[in-house]
Amino acid sequence: MSRLQDRRGTLIKGLSYLALLYAALGWGNERYFHWVQSPWFSHYSEFIVIGIFGVYRCCAEKNAYTRRRIAVLTTVVITFWFLLPTVLPTPEPSLGYFKNHATLGRSLHLPMTLTFFLALGLVLLFGRRVVCSWACPCVGIRDTVGNAFRTQTIRTRSAWRLRHLKWILGSFYFALFVLVLTPSAATRIVVDRFFGTVSVLYFVSLFLIPVTGNRNWCRWLCPYGHIFGLLNKIGFYSIKADRDRCTSCGRCDRECDMGIPVSSLVKAEGRVKATECVGCGRCVNACSLEILQVWDVRRQLGGQSFPKPR
């Protein structure tokens, strides 16, 4: 049985990596290489594999909470990032440069758009998870196709320090908030080069998932998640725990795909309120003592704790 499981695991990893290559090369073909002219080998490739592996993950996932999250994540990505903009490319209300460029369903990461402002408000109330665990295509491919490589996540202290790399792209992203309010030819050049650089790094990161774990982009480079993560710090969201009951068993640390030292933060602060926390709930489920609890604006206003997300 063990040998059969090993073979099955190897097969899934092989298919997963081929799917990651297909997504990356499809985008590269459409944007740069132009090997073939086909919607099946374009930026649509990413959504195709998210849909296929999303269904597989929902069938294979044993934890009910994670299964629901993956189902919602897959549905939102396919509907609002793929189908809606393709079938009904509706302009979205926005300010500045993106006034004539933002398309409903694809503007979550574009500053000064209606969807962007709505996302900021929701993250402030409920945490980064409303985007990064339930709605983001960057996470969609990593939590479906990339799930086979979760065990490869690097959880060393050095890897944890590398989270500050996000400030490089994040600083340029902050600058866009001012720049997009003054549309011009220069604005277009800067904006296009920024998003072009981000896209290249994003798709290159897919090639590295087997050696870094599925969340490499989210952990070290994503400027969008960096914005939402900062709101984690000032907003209502956190994961709280009774530090006196924590035994530092490390199960929560081993489950965190973002490499957050959960048990250390619990012992030091009695909570996890990190910019990197995407609220996937894996650490909460992993705690055998059930001392970790998700808090957000509902907990602050309602006065009750939330049950373990099973």
Q: What is the pLDDT of residues 222-237, one digit of tens each?
A: 999 999 999 999 999 9
Q: Does the pLDDT at position 35 exceed 70?
A: yes
pLDDT by residue (tens digit) across 280-299? 999 999 998 999 999 999 88
Query: Is residue 111 in some structural domain?
Result: yes
Per-residue confidence (pLDDT) for residue 1, from 0 to 100:
60
Q: Give the whole-number percent of the chain exceeding pLDDT 90.
A: 82
User: Does residue 110 sit in the same domain as residue 148?
Assistant: yes
Q: Using pLDDT thresholds of 50, 70 and 90, give the confidence band for residue 307.
A: very low
Query: Is residue 9 in some structural domain?
Result: yes
User: Does residue 223 sit in the same domain as residue 117?
Assistant: yes
Torsion from C-alpha of 64, 256, 194, 108, nearest 10 degrees: 30
Q: Using pLDDT thresholds of 50, 70 and 90, give the confidence band for residue 275.
A: very high
End position of a domain, from candidates 185, 210, 231 = 231
User: Does residue 63 sit in the same domain as residue 77?
Assistant: yes
Between CA 309 and CA 204 the distance in angstroms is 33
Q: Which of 285, 287, 261, 283 is nearest to 274 (CA)?
A: 261
pLDDT by residue (tens digit) across 189-219? 999 999 999 999 999 999 999 999 999 999 9
Between CA 300 and CA 240 the distance in angstroms is 12
Residue 157 makes CB contacts below 8 A (sequence gap 6+) with none
User: Does residue 145 sit in the same domain as residue 281?
Assistant: no
Q: Using pLDDT thresholds of 50, 70 and 90, give the confidence band for residue 250.
A: very high
Per-residue confidence (pLDDT) for residue 56, from 0 to 100:
97
User: Does residue 85 sit in the same domain as residue 132?
Assistant: yes
Domain that holds residue 181: 2-231
User: Does residue 165 sit in the same domain as residue 271?
Assistant: no
Query: Is residue 173 in some structural domain?
Result: yes
CB 128 within 8 A of CB 226: no
Q: Does the pLDDT at position 303 exceed 60?
A: no
Torsion from C-alpha of 66, 71, 77, 79, nearest 10 degrees: -160
CB 279 within 8 A of CB 251: no
User: Does residue 37 sit in the same domain as residue 186?
Assistant: yes
End position of a domain, from candidates 177, 208, 231 = 231
User: Does residue 244 sit in the same domain as residue 215?
Assistant: no
Query: Is residue 155 in some structural domain?
Result: yes
End position of a domain, from candidates 231, 253, 274 = 231
Per-residue confidence (pLDDT) for residue 304, from 0 to 100:
52
pLDDT by residue (tens digit) across 110-149? 999 999 999 999 999 999 999 999 999 999 999 999 999 9
Q: Assign residue 242 the CATH number of its domain.
A: 3.30.70
Helix residue ranges per DSSP H, the chain: 2-28, 44-60, 64-76, 84-87, 114-126, 129-132, 137-144, 157-161, 166-179, 185-212, 216-220, 223-234, 251-255, 262-269, 282-286, 297-302
Q: Does the pLDDT at position 306 exceed 60?
A: no
Tokens of 159: 């890897």
User: Does residue 242 sit in the same domain as residue 224?
Assistant: no
Query: Is residue 310 in some structural domain?
Result: no
What's the number of domains the chain is made of? Answer: 2
pTM score of the predicted model:
0.93
Phi, psi dihedral angles at 267 (to 5 degrees): -65, -35
Report the Cα 158 to chain-centroid distance in Å: 21
Q: pLDDT averaged over the chain?
A: 92
